[in-house]
Structure 1
Amino acid sequence: MSLTVYAPASMGNVGVGFDLLGAALAPIDGSLLGDRVSVCAADRGINLSLTGRWADKLPADPKENIVYQCAEFFLQQLGKDEGLSLTLEKNLPVGSGLGSSASSVVAALYALNEFFDNPYDEQQLLRLMGQFEGKISGSVHYDNVAPCYLGGMQLMLDTPEKVCDAIPTFENWYWVVAYPGISLSTAKMRELLPSQYDKSVAIDFGRYLSAFVHASYRQDASMAVSVLKDVLAEPYRASAIPGYEASRAALSEIGMLTTGISGSGPTLFSVTDSLETAHKAQQWLEQHYLQQGGFSHICRIDAQGTRRADGI
């Protein structure tokens, strides 16, 4: 038996929801923006091969690769010692703010769960994904793994019964995402944040996030745009991302509704309900924000999430 799984890129935070909101991305041109993992049986041990645009940026030693470590982790959880052969098609750059590590982790664990006839249900598997992702980042955050796995825009609940739940999205919104071509360490970007916030900032954060969720259910796009603001991270991270502040200003002039940092950057996202404006924004970003190795996409929210991709 051999199977292949695709896990889409994701935006953590979505600006307004630091560590509590995430969304999966699907380019409107039909291209796949995310990693793929294939798995089949092997005689013994764990074998890993690498392909894809960004494979050469990964550790040379397979045992240092998170997909190899996922396989070790999964077999350990099952109490099994079986031979596996895995292939990672690395299509997302590391340190991009597009959920690169989450895409690899989710694709690997989803594929392994399928391969072993689904020993874990959806919530159990999601918690395993979060647990493993936490080993990498130092703490458990679901805002990338949850939308990557389940699709849509996910609000983190972290109740005993449920890790997260989907909230309605605006079907007529286009999300222009632009990765400039540089990598930023999530850990280092977190270090830029203050250890404490003023009470007024905490109140604004709660107000904006709750208003955005409320607006999403009411399908009130103007309200959603007006509160899609990041008061916790962007004020401290914006200047650390080359060209971000100038790009945000230019995108506003072009007519984009709002712009923010995807995850911890350097990828930015910008929202519009006009495809024409989206193309203008993409053209500007490609000329002024992207460096060598950078790329941009006009996206919708990916409602499917992670799925089998054996025939793709």
Structure 2
Amino acid sequence: MEKVKAFAPATVANVSCGFDILGFALDSLGDHVILSKNDEKVLRVISIKGDGGRLPLEADKNTCSIAIRAMLDDLGSDQGFDIELEKGLPLGSGMGSSAASAVAALVAVNELLGNPYPKNELLPFAMEAERAACGTAHADNVAPSLLGGFVLIRGYKPLDVIKLSVPDNLTCTLLHPNYQLNTSDSRSVLKDRIPLKDAITQSGNVAGLVAGLFQSDYALISRSLEDVIAEPYRASLLPGFDEVKKAMLELGALGLGISGSGPTLFILSEGKEKHEHFVQKAKEIYDNLGLSLKAYFSRINTKGGFVIQ
């Protein structure tokens, strides 16, 4: 095999109370990578579509090629590849854009090389791409994009990643308002220290959310989707956040939170029937703020990244 195409899904990281330790994968939304072997022993990013010319073609700066290089170095391989990236995700959206690109590239190269790694062992290479993109080799986007489903990052030394159960009827609405929020700005407002009472509350909510997922207890999931560590500070950076959250909860959402660093918001609900109501109300709120809105509906993707052809 000389050429393959792979897909990796968008993700929601943090999941309210799961700041930096929880994430889940979405259906349909994501990035595609077409990867071809070359005989020149070099990595080349030969084209990028859908990024508006904003992403680097240089192999030492692009998350696709950085992830592939990490894997090839681990294998001791000098095989060359040509990379074509098709972005299906907006940049800086809080939907795991850089993670999806890296994961799709890794799934593709692993296939072309005869699958030398089980899927879960590709994760450290994807994390190296996140280090280049974000400054930190975090896993809460790349792990669900790679493995699918809900994922818990229990620890990093050693890396300990656990797939969680997903209730059959758990669904997600994404609200992506038309403005950009830098991850560095979202990080800058966070506190280095948190009160003991907040740590206890957050721990209880994380445990409750995990239990709710395994028990398919939507009421428990709902009352556990509360973030007392990051959201109170990040909300001030997001126009209309408090109004949107209040409205979505009144319409019957299980919970609403900030996807990754924002500005995208995620809404978890039981089934699809309330999705259109969420979107209609959210558009009214953002229209009043002078902001356009893109909205998406998704079930939880339990497959993760995969080879298409």
Give the TM-score normalised by the residue count of structure 2: 0.91
| C-alpha distance in 2 between matches for 1:292 and 1:79 | 50
| C-alpha distance in 2 between matches for 1:9 and 1:123 | 18
Q: What residue identity is the alignment partner of 2:10?
A: A
Q: What residue identity is the alignment partner of 1:130?
A: M
- Relative to structure 2, which stretch is displaced further, 265-274 or 68-77? 68-77
Distance 1:83 1:14, change over 3 A: same
Distance 1:240 1:133, change over 3 A: same
Correspondent of 2:152 among 147, 151, 155: 155
- The SS at the match of 1:33 is strand
Partners of 2:8 and 2:31 within 8 A in 1: yes
Correspondent of 1:187 among 184, 201, 205: 184
Q: What residue identity is the alignment partner of 2:148?
A: G
Residue 20 of structure 2 is matched in structure 1 by 19
- Relative to structure 2, which stretch is displaced further, 214-223 or 32-41? 214-223
Residue 301 of structure 1 is matched in structure 2 by 300
- The SS at the match of 1:64 is coil
Partners of 1:55 and 1:90 within 8 A in 2: no
- Relative to structure 2, which stretch is displaced further, 218-227 or 4-13? 218-227
Correspondent of 1:34 among 30, 34, 39: 30
- The SS at the match of 1:157 is strand
The structure with the largest strand share of the pair is 2
Distance 1:287 1:64, change over 3 A: farther
Distance 1:132 1:58, change over 3 A: closer
Q: C-alpha deviations, 1:236-287, integer Å up to 9, x for none?
A: 0011012222211222233323211111111001122252321111223344
Q: What residue identity is the alignment partner of 1:243?
A: G
| C-alpha distance in 2 between matches for 1:289 and 1:49 | 38
| C-alpha distance in 1 between matches for 2:284 and 2:74 | 48
Following TM superposition, the consecutive aligned residue runs of length 4 or more in structure 1 with deviations greater than 4 angstroms are: 60-63, 159-162, 290-294
- Relative to structure 2, which stretch is displaced further, 83-92 or 156-165? 156-165
Partners of 1:256 and 1:278 within 8 A in 2: no
Q: C-alpha deviations, 1:27-49, integer Å up to 9, x for none?
A: xxxxx200111111123222213
Residue 136 of structure 2 is matched in structure 1 by 139
Q: What residue identity is the alignment partner of 1:19?
A: D
Distance 1:287 1:5, change over 3 A: farther
Q: How many equivalent residue pairs? A: 305
Partners of 1:55 and 1:89 within 8 A in 2: no
Partners of 1:174 and 1:278 within 8 A in 2: no
Residue 231 of structure 1 is matched in structure 2 by 228
Residue 116 of structure 2 is matched in structure 1 by 119
- The SS at the match of 2:103 is helix
Residue 282 of structure 2 is matched in structure 1 by 285
Structure 2: gaps of 5 or more residues: none
- The SS at the match of 1:275 is coil
After TM superposition, list the pairs within 5 Å mapping 1:30-179 onto structure 2: 32-44=28-40, 45-59=42-56, 61=58, 63-158=60-155, 163-179=160-176
Residue 196 of structure 2 is matched in structure 1 by 199
| C-alpha distance in 2 between matches for 1:119 and 1:6 | 19
Correspondent of 2:208 among 211, 222, 245: 211
Q: C-alpha deviations, 1:45-83, integer Å up to 9, x for none?
A: 222133433342323655432223333333333323233
| C-alpha distance in 2 between matches for 1:84 and 1:55 | 23
Give the TM-score normalised by the residue count of structure 1: 0.90
Partners of 1:51 and 1:87 within 8 A in 2: yes
Partners of 1:282 and 1:298 within 8 A in 2: no
| C-alpha distance in 2 between matches for 1:122 and 1:187 | 30
- Relative to structure 2, which stretch is displaced further, 140-149 or 60-69? 60-69
Partners of 2:38 and 2:82 within 8 A in 1: yes
Partners of 2:111 and 2:307 within 8 A in 1: no
- Relative to structure 2, which stretch is displaced further, 292-301 or 165-174? 292-301
| C-alpha distance in 2 between matches for 1:259 and 1:90 | 26
Partners of 1:123 and 1:162 within 8 A in 2: no
| C-alpha distance in 2 between matches for 1:71 and 1:142 | 17
Partners of 1:37 and 1:111 within 8 A in 2: yes
How far 1:123 moved relative to its partner?
Answer: 3.3
Q: What residue identity is the alignment partner of 1:297?
A: Y
| C-alpha distance in 2 between matches for 1:149 and 1:211 | 25
After TM superposition, list the pairs within 5 Å mapping 1:234-253 onto structure 2: 234-253=231-250
Structure 1: gaps of 5 or more residues: 27-31
How far 1:294 moved relative to its partner?
Answer: 4.6
